[in-house]
Amino acid sequence: MNHHLNDLMLQRNGPLTNLLKRTPGNFGIGQVPTDTAPTSTTSIVCGYCSTGCNLEAHLIDGQAVGLTPSVSNVVNIGMACPKGWEALTPLAASDRAAHPQLRKHRGKTAKQISWSKAAATFCERFKEIQKQHGDESVAFISTGQIPSEEMALLGSFARFGMNIQHGDGNTRQCMATSVVAYKESFGFDAPPYTYQDFEESDLIILIGSNLCIAHPVMWQRIMKNPHNPETIVIDPRNTETAAAATQHIPLQPKSDLLLFYSIAHVLIRNNWINKEFITAHTSGFDDFAVHVSTFSPDRAARDTGIAAQTIEALAEKIHRGLRVSFWWTMGVNQSYQGVRTAQAIINLALMTGNIGKPGTGANSITGQCNAMGSRLFSNTTNLIGGHQFSDPQDRSKVATALQIPTNVIPSTTSLAYHEILDQILNEKIKGLWIIATNPAHSWINQKMCRDILSRLDFLVVQDMYDNTDTAKLADLILPAAAWGEKEGTFINSERRVGLVKQVSRAPGEALSDFRIVKLLAKYWGCHELFSHWETPQDVFQSIKEATRDQPCDMTGIRDYQHLEQTGGIQWPFPDEGPPLLDRQRRLFADGMFYHDDGRARFIFDTPQPLPEPPSSKYPLLLITGRGTSAQWHTNTRTSKSPALRQLYPQNVYVEVNSSDAAKYKLQPEQQIIVESQRGKLLATVAISHNIGPGQVFIPMHYVETNRLTRAHFDPHSKQPSYKDCAVRLRYADYRDH
Amino acid sequence: MSAQQSLTAVELFGQRVAETTSALHGQYYTDLIPLDSPQDGQQYAFEVDLDKCTGCKSCVTACHSLNGLDDGEAWRKVGSLVGGTTELPVLQHVTTACHHCLEPACAAGCPVNAYEKNPETGIVVHLDDQCIGCQYCLFTCPYEVPVYNHDKGIVRKCDMCHDRLQANEAPACVQACPQHAIRIVISEEADTIANAQANQFLPTAPAPDYTLPTTHYKTTKPLPPNVLASDFYLGRPQHAHWPLVTMLILTQLSVGTFVMLNCFTGMLVLLGASANTVRNHNQLIDQMGQWPVIMTLALGMLGLLASVLHLGRPLFAFRAILGIRRSWLSREIVAFGVFAVLASADTALVILTESTADKHHLLQWAAILVGIFAIVCSIMVYVDTPRLLWSPFFTTSRFGLTAILLGLPTTLLLLSTMAALAPEISVSTIMSQYTPPICRGLIFTTLLKLLLEARIFIHLRNRTLNPLKRSAQLLTTSLFAIVILRFAVAVVGGVAMPLVLLTQNTSTAGQGFDPIFFIAITLFIWTLLLIGEFAERYLFFTSVATPRMPGT
């Protein structure tokens, strides 16, 4: 009694305290909340970025109830970023697409229909369009967010079954530039590095790469580097990474090509080059040397805004560095001359012999979790396994590997993303199938993109949510199971094939993309083409076979169990090759590249001026990019997590340099219109020194951002150039209501 | 479809990690937690290496998920400092959680002793089952550490994962930081005190002398003198706390009126009423009985009831008595409780014994004194926070004058209404005897209060954006409409309408108005002033600038 009375007045324990009780997790995961103590655990590759972190899913009766970063994994070494920690929350969102939906009238609500009705409508409408306007009048846009097996099935059904001519992926927005740069320079799309290189460099040069925010777990590898490396960030903005680096080179936007040619100029002038390597393993150096001879640091200083002596000093650091590695991300890729810029970086690595050795390389850091898989298996512009549609030998090899007739494989390649949109505008493409991507938010010059999508006769969107900006425009919505609700493999930035497993149930009638495509193939009448692919693992065996004798040969991977046991395997791993001993493997140790002559190419071009330079009317240059590590691309998934929502401003903001703020009489936190020739948005002013004078920065995660951007593309990679359009700032007035 | 719903990952792939109670992450964080336990004069503390914090915010999400917190709830935050020049810009992220202070303000203010500083570890632990959800700790902690959980009706906060530490595991944030920027160290109490004396904590953070925070921020890069919190210019109106607004206004009205009704004789003399009026007064009050007092107390009770709505767990409100030795909130709750009991008992006694108003007895005086003390407690509840706006003068002038400003018209309204209802008293007596002194008092109090309230706008001229200027800015921007409303109703209800009554009263010797019309005007004045005071108290809460860690 006394005890109860005491409790009533001062209660140290009870139901509320118990809510936060922690208990040992039993599977090496340490203490966890008592109510989510797992009965088993399994590891799974994260479904956001291409770092490819392994996460340990905590399961109760097979259902994931929590996540921790996997321990003793070679990729993430027990760590994850906020998106990884919160990866399960978006699956449980209340607004998941749970049933197929058909929209009779655009702008009205879509009505729930059965899967049979959905599949029948899909086939009926697309066949009708193809009958009337030809096979090429239906196109598809794939993604870097689904496993390779699903991509391969999707691409195969689309191109071999539906006879679709044109398909591309959202990887066009992130990695196309690196793909083309590597292909032309090395002879194959082959990022040469392994993450261990971060720990073995003594000079790490990051170009247009905000690692701390975009790939925090990779920055962790730099922090673990025991050689006290110098880190140099080349970026117009003082990003989180620039702030954490030992040196920041704040060059003028898009002047990087000039800077790298100038560095090459200094290296050659001072004879700081590796002649032996150049002679033995490369071609085209002499022409390159002539080309860069005019790019003196004094000349470069004018346009880059970087003093000549800084450029000289940078070249000297590269020369003195024992193991120099170059890393680039979207600052390079999303550029109208991105391919040549990436190749200028590759050239620096080649001419100094900084390739093929630990801690070196010209290294492109990938964006999406399976962009690398998409590059090999999406069957859009490349035939499965990095092959050419135009090559009859490739066609018959792939047909054999996939166990399909050779004659179903077309000999023509596909148009690129923006060319597909152009063809919609030209009324040549009338039907479009979009899978796991959100162009109505993410495509450049958004107003035009939405206008183009509205001109389609039939738009199908297959996504895990039915309220994405693109799904809202769709005639037919196919509800897809998400990452964690299906199985397959991803390939990460360092070419590591990893396993994704089903650890959660999809809501309602949502199906995996694999099952959706199988269903559609059945209704289309071509399911016997793929009848031998009963599970994703069957597809894996086929596409693995298609990589035989390619640089990306992964025939040595036996099956999913093999991946499970090893925690992921990097390609190349041919089945007759050496056994897997080293879990950190890099390419080109022998100096042999993938061109027929085994040599890497020096490729270069004349730098081009900004297509839309700031003018008197639009005096500021807009840079877009990642806002925080808690936001992923169009924020479709990350916005569903209340924990992540706490970590970034909810409304769009624009970073303005303090001198421009004074010039335009802006106050902090003020609302201001940012306007380009194409559109406008209302943003909160953030005055900072982290953006240069004459430049402004807006994160890409806000849907408004791409109203401003200018649709222009790298001519080689067709990748949109998101980070260079002219804008102006003005106070909101009557025009804005 | 059914295949889509079956979960077989473990059956397919087996359990890769064997069953073990030890934490395999330990290999990464053994260096980040202390080997020993704190000795005398020592305690556990967070140490943050600012050079390593790059703002990835993994610590926040790990805290959220490894501790099983509710949606959007996390005990760690990441903010940032910005400054420098365009040539040498500075961007410094700062991760922050509870500082497990030597003198935790959360514990000092807690009315129910729900905070305990562990004598061995120094960890400030919150007893979730003891909490009544009053949220006073949100006011007293200068670092915005306690987080109120609406669903549970309680506050929760960082406990430094003390049970993890006990098992040689690192706290969630420590084990999740990819850059190993956070560690647990054993800190010397003497160092914490010395740092507070030298004002060494973190630039732009609230000064450490108030609570003696133990977190140690270290950096090799000196921050330039112009660093500011990244949200330095952000002005956000704070929560209005309507139950508290209601409670404060109604209790002050009640005490004010109770005091006036009971001390009217003195009050009338003070306000310059004629000797005749004073003589008639006691007689009148006797005729009316205790109804005005009962009405007054009812309004006060309503206020106390409203304050209960502010509690997440009102059933446990009785525990508030525990903190009476430290917490002004505790004293406020107890004082109002005692006031209600004394005043009711007094009234009951008067009714039962049919004693008369001029026979002041002990109970009555006790009620009056306790009532005034309760208002003092209310004042101290807000003064005893690190919020600069709520200074002793600022808060006293508001709460005290509200008691007078609402006490006067309530008295007039109650007296005139009672007169109208009681056939033996004529309303015109009330009008002629009470209107002049009360109206004069009203006009004077209103003008004085408005003047004091308007003083805040002086701070608009400050060069420094200090908390007072922030409040002034909020009042002239996002809260401006309420400010206009507040001043308008006060001028009409507290100056214009009383003037009308006064002039009418003087010109016609109290005979000019129809009684009903007189009561209507009185009611109008009362309503306007009540609205005005509600608006004033709403602004009191919403316009306050709160101290917090930079950029959070």
Q: Which residue of A has its CA nearest to B78?
A: A647
pLDDT one-digit tens code per residue, B457-489: 999 999 999 999 999 999 999 999 999 999 999
pLDDT one-digit tens code per residue, A535-586: 999 999 999 999 999 999 999 999 999 999 998 999 999 998 788 777 889 9
Chain B residues with CB inside 8 Å of A17's CB?
Answer: 127-129
What mean pLDDT do residues A105-112 have? 93
B238 touches chain A (CB under 8 A): no
Q: What is the pLDDT of residue B354?
A: 66
Q: How far apart are CA B389 and CA B395, in angstroms?
A: 8
Percent of chain B past pLDDT 70, that is, above it, reads 90
* Mean pLDDT (chain B, rounded): 89
pLDDT one-digit tens code per residue, A8-36: 889 999 999 999 999 998 888 899 999 99
pLDDT one-digit tens code per residue, B162-193: 999 999 999 999 999 999 999 999 999 999 99
Q: Tell me which residues of chain B, numbers 143 to 202, contact chain A at a CB-CB cutoff of 8 Å.
A: 152, 154, 156, 161, 163-164, 167, 169, 175-180
Percent of chain A past pLDDT 70, that is, above it, reads 99
pLDDT one-digit tens code per residue, B296-339: 889 989 999 999 899 999 999 999 999 999 999 999 999 999 99
Inform me whether the pLDDT recorded for B5 exceeds 80: no
Inform me whether the pLDDT recorded for A190 exceeds 80: yes
Q: How confident is the model at residue B266 (pLDDT cuts 50, 70, 90)?
A: low
- Whether A79 and A69 have beta carbons less than 8 Å apart is answered as yes
Each residue of A454-470: b (16+ CB within 10 Å) or e?
eebbbbbbbbbbbebbb
pLDDT one-digit tens code per residue, A74-101: 898 889 999 999 999 999 999 999 999 9
CB atoms within 10 A of CB A477: 28
Inform me whether the pLDDT recorded for A222 exceeds 80: yes
Q: How confident is the model at residue B419 (pLDDT cuts 50, 70, 90)?
A: confident
pLDDT one-digit tens code per residue, B388-399: 999 999 999 999
Q: Which residue of A has its CA nearest to B168?
A: A30
Instruction: Give the containing element (helix H, strand E) for A397.
Output: helix A392-402
A577 touches chain B (CB under 8 A): no
Q: What is the pLDDT of residue B427?
A: 72
Q: What is the pLDDT of residue B16?
A: 67
Chain B residues with CB inside 8 Å of A16's CB?
Answer: 128-129, 131, 152, 154
Q: Tell me which residues of chain A, numbers 463 to 492, contact chain B at a CB-CB cutoff of 8 Å.
A: 481, 485-487
Q: What is the pLDDT of residue B1?
A: 67
Q: Tell me which residues of chain A, numbers 340 to 369, contact chain B at a CB-CB cutoff of 8 Å.
A: none
| A657 with B86: Cβ contact below 8 A | yes
Q: How confident is the model at residue B50 (pLDDT cuts 50, 70, 90)?
A: very high
Chain A residues with CB inside 8 Å of B3's CB?
Answer: 515
Residue written as token pair 């730098």: A607
| Structure token digits, residue B508 | 């016609």
Strand partners for A232: A205, A247
B82 touches chain A (CB under 8 A): yes
Distance from CA of A145 to the nearest CA of B (A): 19
Each residue of A634-650: b (16+ CB within 10 Å) or e?
bbbbbbbbebbbbbbee
Inform me whether the pLDDT recorded for B251 exceeds 90: yes
Inform me whether the pLDDT recorded for A58 exceeds 70: yes
- Alpha helix segments (H runs only) across B144-263: 162-166, 172-176, 189-197, 242-262
Chain B residues with CB inside 8 Å of A668's CB?
Answer: 232-234
Q: What is the pLDDT of residue B445?
A: 96
Inform me whether the pLDDT recorded for A693 exceeds 80: yes
Task: List the single range of A716-720, B34-38, B129-133, B209-213 with lowest mean pLDDT.
Answer: B34-38
Q: What is the pLDDT of residue B507?
A: 60
Q: What is the pLDDT of residue B434?
A: 78
A37 touches chain B (CB under 8 A): no
Inform me whether the pLDDT recorded for B512 exceeds 70: no
Q: What is the pLDDT of residue A598?
A: 96
Helix (H, G, I), strand (E, B) or coil at A486: strand
Q: What is the pLDDT of residue B35?
A: 87
pLDDT one-digit tens code per residue, A700-716: 999 999 999 999 999 99
Helix (H, G, I), strand (E, B) or coil at A299: helix
What mean pLDDT do residues A406-417 have? 95
Chain A residues with CB inside 8 Å of B15's CB?
Answer: 27, 40-42
Q: Tell me which residues of chain A, numbers 181 to 220, contact chain B at a CB-CB cutoff of 8 Å.
A: 212-213, 216-217, 219-220
Q: What is the pLDDT of residue B411?
A: 87
pLDDT one-digit tens code per residue, A353-365: 999 999 999 999 9
Q: Which residue of B has its CA nearest to A500?
A: B9
Nearest to A518 by CA among A153, A32, A19: A153
Interface probe for A, chosen from B7, B49, B95 (most Cβ of A below 10 Å), is B7
Strand partners for B184: B46
Q: State CA B492 to chain mean position distance.
A: 29
Q: What is the pLDDT of residue A459?
A: 98
Q: What is the pLDDT of residue B506?
A: 61
Highest mean pLDDT, choosing among A344-348, A729-733, B82-86, B303-307: A344-348
- Whether A710 and A676 have beta carbons less than 8 Å apart is answered as yes
pLDDT one-digit tens code per residue, A496-526: 999 999 999 999 999 999 999 999 999 999 9
Q: State CA B376 to chain mean position distance.
A: 14
φ, ψ of residue A228 to 5 degrees: the values are: 50, 60
Pairing of strands A671-675, A680-688: antiparallel
Q: Within a 13 Å sphere around the CA of B397, how many CA atoms are in the beta-carbon half?
A: 19
| Length of chain A (residues) | 737
Chain B residues with CB inside 8 Å of A686's CB?
Answer: 230
| Structure token digits, residue B546 | 């709160």
Secondary structure letter of residue A638 according to DSSP? G
Q: What is the pLDDT of residue B511?
A: 55
What mean pLDDT do residues A415-438 have? 97
| A28 with B10: Cβ contact below 8 A | no
Q: What is the pLDDT of residue A442?
A: 97
Chain B residues with CB inside 8 Å of A40's CB?
Answer: 10, 15
Q: Which residue of A has its CA nearest to B6?
A: A505
pTM for this model (two decimals): 0.91
What mean pLDDT do residues A449-454 have? 97
B92 touches chain A (CB under 8 A): yes
Inform me whether the pLDDT recorded for B356 exceeds 60: no
Q: Which residue of A has its CA nearest to B85?
A: A689
Q: What is the pLDDT of residue B277?
A: 66
Q: How confident is the model at residue B505 (pLDDT cuts 50, 70, 90)?
A: low
What mean pLDDT do residues A161-172 have? 95
Inform me whether the pLDDT recorded for A474 exceeds 70: yes
Task: List the single range of A379-388, B254-263, B500-509 with lowest mean pLDDT.
Answer: B500-509
pLDDT one-digit tens code per residue, B145-157: 999 999 999 999 9
Which own/partner contact pairs does B67-71 have at CB distance under 8 Å and 24+ positions apart? Answer: B67/A20, B67/A22, B67/A33, B67/B161, B67/B172, B68/A19, B68/A20, B68/A22, B68/A32, B68/A33, B68/A34, B68/A35, B68/A36, B69/A20, B69/B156, B70/B149, B70/B151, B70/B152, B71/A642, B71/A643
Chain A residues with CB inside 8 Å of B158's CB?
Answer: none
Q: How confident is the model at residue B435 (pLDDT cuts 50, 70, 90)?
A: confident
Q: How confident is the model at residue B508 (pLDDT cuts 50, 70, 90)?
A: low
pLDDT one-digit tens code per residue, A614-637: 999 999 999 999 999 999 999 999
Q: How confident is the model at residue A229 (pLDDT cuts 50, 70, 90)?
A: very high
Q: What is the pLDDT of residue B278?
A: 67
Q: What is the pLDDT of residue B344?
A: 87
Q: What is the pLDDT of residue B415?
A: 82
Q: How far apart are CA B181 and CA B188, in angstroms?
A: 20
Q: Tell me which residues of chain A, numbers 623 to 652, contact chain B at a CB-CB cutoff of 8 Å.
A: 628-630, 642-647
| B89 with A690: Cβ contact below 8 A | yes
Q: Which residue of A has its CA nearest to B92?
A: A243
Interface probe for B, chosen from A4, A6, A11 (most Cβ of B below 10 Å), is A11
Q: State CA A16 to chain mean position distance.
A: 43
Using CB atoms within 10 A of its CB, is residue B237 exposed (0-12), middle (13-18) or buried (19+)? middle
